[in-house]
Structure 1
Amino acid sequence: MSKLPDLEALAIFAKVAEVQSFSGAAEALMLSKATVSKAVSRLEQRLGATLLHRTSRRFSLTDAGRALAARGAQMVMEAEIAEGEAMDQAIAPRGLVRLAAPMSFGMGYVAPALPEFLAQHPDVSVELHLSDAVVDLIGDGFDCALRIAALPDSSLTARRLRSVRRVLVASPDYLNQRGRPAHPSDLVRHACLGYTYLASPPETWRMIHSSGEEIAFRPVGPLRANNADALTASLCAGLGIAPQPDFIYWRDVAEGRLETVMTDWTLPPISLHLVAPGGGPRPARVMALMDYLSKRFSGPLWPGDERG
């Protein structure tokens, strides 16, 4: 015997008991009378009990049949409610969306964007997970994620929202004391602050010139962190030099706390992507958030931002 109950036969039997007729149940369920009869017989055989007595003139439920019919009717009602709720969520945005995002971008841009979305969709709630580590969307149960990277091929679907530029930055005081580097070879004389989640091998910066020349450099310095924003205080304090993404350094550069240097040299190109597990149609709540984030982050994010 299968460990799973024969839900189809139970639902058919409940309808037979409700209308007191095999032909009536067949018509209501849009099945053949033979299919209905076989389902009831299959259920009786499975249970080892007679569920109803039927002759050409009479139809009556046994005690076991009456108890099972009541349970079956309740099961069908609950299944119809659950199915209706699922269909409603597929049509109208409703329910929880689990979203993952990088820490700094999440704090600076995603979290401030969510109040507007939630006001527009009062029946939707969002669980925001912030980490620079790459989460397993499917294994960890996330509906979608924002990722800043050069994405490898994968089973995920991805929307590219914008490019992210990374250049070297340092404080004016630091540069006045240590000099302004013009080439990666100059960096051996500098204190280099490091970001530990770089895609390149550990403790290596890959610098690419606008002409296409590429140089790998092993930085040495007093601080490494797994979040780029965590380097900002040390950079502004004149502790060293580091490559930073534009969405982090723009304000400090605009207000004079940091300067960009060697702007003709950058780290390998990366972009902000919105990713989601591959597969079939997504619930309306997930599509609503993805469409909102796509529109919000495809345009300019700060004064003078031209990469949106």
Structure 2
Amino acid sequence: MDLHIALRVFREAAEQDSFAEAGRRIGLSPAAVSKNIAELEAHLGTRLFHRTTRSKTLTEEGRIYLEHVARSLDALADADEALGLARADPGGVLRVSAPVTVTMTWLSTRIPDFLARHPGLHLDLRLDDRRVDLVREGYDLAIRGSDHLEDTSLVARRLAEMPHVLCAAPAYLRSRGAPASPAALKTHECVRFSLSGHADTWTFRKDGRIERVTVQSRYSVSSSLAVCDALRAGFGLSLVPRPYVERDLRESRLQAVLEDWSTVTTTLYAVYPSRRHLAPKIRAFLEFLAETFEATKI
């Protein structure tokens, strides 16, 4: 027995006072209507209709049951309508976690336009460089930069790739000299971004050779914005995503070193718990992110 169909059949038969009319409205034969009513009564263990050769009327139990069934079916119809509206126009509260520097570099100036496109949507954007637990902390989506994603239970959509560059202020390089090789970094001040997946070891490649440098740092900080501030102030060298310092390099506030060596690339992902029945608000934000990073041409 399909309980939902049986409930619809019961309601129509009761309200139309006719099994035949109920069948016409739902698209079932009189025999199928009778079968659904009989199976529903067997399921409930009570008689819902008094049956004679000329009429079928509700029992007292049938009248009580009809009140509850009618309310339940109406509530389901309202839920279906509400979901349909949600699919057509994203709405509600969207909770997103994103790294500070990623947001300030690419997203913050574009978010007003995104919200203007979706007037029914409320965005709660939390800027946090730590890796949040989406499910436990109640986020719909997070933006993450990673060399590799550890949590395979999440759906990940790639947004962009950020190559890294080793750089420092010209004043620092004049006073300490530019490192001639990765190994020479052991004699330099290095600024360490503590939340990076490669915070402790910087890897460089050249002509099939790989050199890994264990980072010795007097300054470790959990904000890439603070790392960039330290570099501009001439404190030392750091390995940072190139888009974060592209303007500084172009305007000579910072200078790249060891450019004949390649190094790590961080991939930006949008991660969310499930791709099944993806909420319209999440789908809309994913489209916004894809448009934004495609336009930046990182």
TM range (shorter): 0.7 to 0.9
Partner of 1:31: 28
- Superposition TM-score, scaled by structure 1 size: 0.82
8 A contact 2:241–2:266 mirrored in 1: no
Separation in 1 of the partners of 2:20 and 2:208?
A: 78
1:40 aligns with 2:68: no
Separation in 2 of the partners of 1:287 and 1:217?
A: 41
Aligned ranges 1:64-83 → 2 under 5 Å: 64-83=61-80
Counterpart secondary structure, 1:90: helix
**1:218, distance to aligned residue in structure 2 (A):** 0.6
Separation in 2 of the partners of 1:12 and 1:129?
A: 49
Q: Measured at CA, do residues 219 and 143 of structure 1 come closer, stay the same or move farther in structure 2, by a change above 3 Å?
A: same
8 A contact 2:107–2:292 mirrored in 1: no
Partner of 1:197: 195
1:114 aligns with 2:85: no
Partner of 2:173: 175
Separation in 2 of the partners of 1:136 and 1:31?
A: 50
Q: Measured at CA, do residues 151 and 27 of structure 1 come closer, stay the same or move farther in structure 2, by a change above 3 Å?
A: farther
Unaligned runs of 5+ in 2: none
Separation in 2 of the partners of 1:185 and 1:100?
A: 37
The root-mean-square deviation of aligned C-alpha atoms, in Å, is 2.9
Separation in 2 of the partners of 1:56 and 1:141?
A: 59
**Dislocated runs of 4+, deviation >6 Å:** none
**1:136, distance to aligned residue in structure 2 (A):** 5.0
Q: Measured at CA, do residues 278 and 73 of structure 1 come closer, stay the same or move farther in structure 2, by a change above 3 Å?
A: closer
Partner of 1:53: 50
Separation in 2 of the partners of 1:30 and 1:124?
A: 40
1:298 aligns with 2:294: yes
Separation in 2 of the partners of 1:151 and 1:30?
A: 54
Q: Measured at CA, do residues 119 and 236 of structure 1 come closer, stay the same or move farther in structure 2, by a change above 3 Å?
A: same
**1:233, distance to aligned residue in structure 2 (A):** 2.6
Separation in 1 of the partners of 2:147 and 2:93?
A: 29
8 A contact 1:208–1:268 mirrored in 2: no
Partner of 1:3: none
1:249 to 221, 245, 268: 245
1:288 to 273, 284, 291: 284
Separation in 2 of the partners of 1:100 and 1:38?
A: 53
Partner of 2:85: 88
Counterpart secondary structure, 1:82: helix
Partner of 1:128: 125
Unaligned runs of 5+ in 1: 1-5, 301-306
Given residue 214 of structure 2, which amino acid in structure 1 is its aligned partner?
A: R
Alignment length (residue pairs): 296
Counterpart secondary structure, 1:116: helix
**1:269, distance to aligned residue in structure 2 (A):** 2.0
8 A contact 1:192–1:240 mirrored in 2: yes
Separation in 2 of the partners of 1:136 and 1:203?
A: 23
8 A contact 2:203–2:211 mirrored in 1: yes
**1:20, distance to aligned residue in structure 2 (A):** 1.4
Report sequence identity in percent.
32
Separation in 1 of the partners of 2:123 and 2:27?
A: 41
1:240 to 228, 236, 240: 236
Counterpart secondary structure, 1:72: helix
Q: Deviations over 1:121-160 (max 9, x none)?
A: 1122333243333445566665444332334595655544
